[in-house]
Amino acid sequence: MSKWADEVKRKIDSFNSRMKEIDDPLKKLIEELKSQPYNLYAKCVLEDKQNLVWIVAIGTQTFTISEEEISAKQVIEDIDENNNEVDSGKRRTVKEALEDLIIEKLKSF
C-alpha cells in the first residue's frame, strides 16, 4: 500500500467514526424523548452527510444540529490570568453537547 492511499483510508475512517460518534447518542436522546413518560414526537435524520448536519424534530419544532456546532460545544473554556476565555484542553462528551444544543434550539414561551 502507498502512503497516499493510507492517508485517504485514515481520513475516511476518521470521518465515519465521528459520524457514528454523534449519530448514536443523538438517536438515543431522541428515543428517550419518544418513550414514557415523555411520549413526544421526536425524530432525527442525517440530512447532509458531507458536512454532518442532522435535522431534528421535537414536537412541532424542527431545527438542525451540525458537527461544527457539536465540536464547538464540546470545548471547555477556562479563564486565564488576564480574565480571557481560553480553551482548557478538556472536552465535554458528545451527549452533553447534544443535550445543551437541543435545549438551546428549542423555542419556549
Mean pLDDT for back-to-back runs of 10 residues, the chain (109 residues): 93 97 98 97 97 98 98 87 78 97 92
Do 93 and 22 form a contact (C-beta atoms < 8 A)? no
Helix (H) / strand (E) element for 66: namely: strand 61-66
> What b/e string do you get for 56-69 counting C-beta neighbours within 10 Å, with b at 16 or more?
bebeeeeeebbbeb
Cell numbers placing 53: 448536519
| CA proximity to 29, closest of 93, 99, 108 | 99
Q: 78 - beta bridge partners?
A: 86
**Total-model pTM:** 0.87
**Can you give the pLDDT at residue 51?**
97
Give CA 73 to chain center in angstroms: 8
